[in-house]
Amino acid sequence: MAAAVEPHRDCPLCPRLHGFIAEWRAREPGWHNAPVPSFLPLQGEDAVRLLVVGLAPGLRGANRTGRPFTGDYAGDLLYSTLKRFGFARGEFQARPDDGLELVETAITNAVRCVPPENKPVGAEIATCRQFLVPTIDRFPRLEAIVTLGAIAHQSTVRALGQRVAALPFRHGARHAVGGITLFPSYHCSRYNTNTGRLTEAMFVDVFSAVRETLG
């Protein structure tokens, strides 16, 4: 049987994250509070040529709204940049029903459940890779993956069956793996933009390179 692409809503494989979500279900019953599914274009998985891999849902972002990068700052920069290069269209209003559409692009997270302090531990990253591997495999036309931050990058490299030492994380690098090009980028978190580690121009340059590659 093929591996599951999306975890069950009550996935218990990471006890710490399962417990953290249970706490938030009690505190905020109106929130999503579950593994966050990948965001796909309306045309479906066969249309996807670019995959964006984030780290994990933010507590008040995707964990609240149920859509990757929706509801906190990181989404503002990501979706405006995707729109700029034609990878998304419509109005991003930080709500899952805002009508924003992805174009030949999908978005997922290396870890599907919200971790305390935005910090998954190694075992959680490794365990959730069982969903990242079939997520990458489900797109027959995939040509490019943007990995946001070192953890997402390394987990993606492992999911592709490659050695991390051979394909290191470096903002702005490009790595070819078979027919796929990896584009590592610093994560578009508020922390990274506030500290200047990632400027909007640096982020735009990554997606400009992706557009150049995909044509």
Alpha-helix runs per DSSP H in 7-159:
15-27, 62-65, 73-84, 122-137, 150-159
Rounded least distance, CB 13 to ligand SF4, Å: 4
* β-bridge mates for residue 182, sequence order: 145, 175
Non-local (6+) Cβ contacts of 120 within 8 A are 17, 55, 56, 110, 111, 128, 151
**Cβ–Cβ < 8 Å for 207, 146:** yes
Shortest CB 21 distance to ligand SF4, Å: 8
**Shortest gap between Cβ of 129 and ligand SF4 (angstroms)?**
8
The rounded Cα 55 to chain-centroid distance in angstroms is: 6
Pick one of 40, 113, 132, 160: the residue that binds ligand SF4 (CB under 6 A). Answer: 113
7 binds ligand SF4 (CB under 6 A): yes
**If binding is defined by CB under 6 A, does position 54 make contact with ligand SF4?**
no
Q: Is residue 160 close enough to count as binding ligand SF4 by CB under 6 A?
A: no
Is there binding between residue 18 and ligand SF4 (CB under 6 A)? Answer: yes
37 binds ligand SF4 (CB under 6 A): no
Nearest to 138 by CA among 169, 183, 106, 92: 106
34 binds ligand SF4 (CB under 6 A): no
For residue 18, give the 3-state DSSP assignment: helix
127 interacts with ligand SF4 by CB under 6 A: yes
* Interface with ligand SF4, residue 13, by CB under 6 A: yes
Binding site for ligand SF4 (CB under 6 A): 7, 11, 13-14, 17-18, 35, 111-113, 124, 127-128, 131
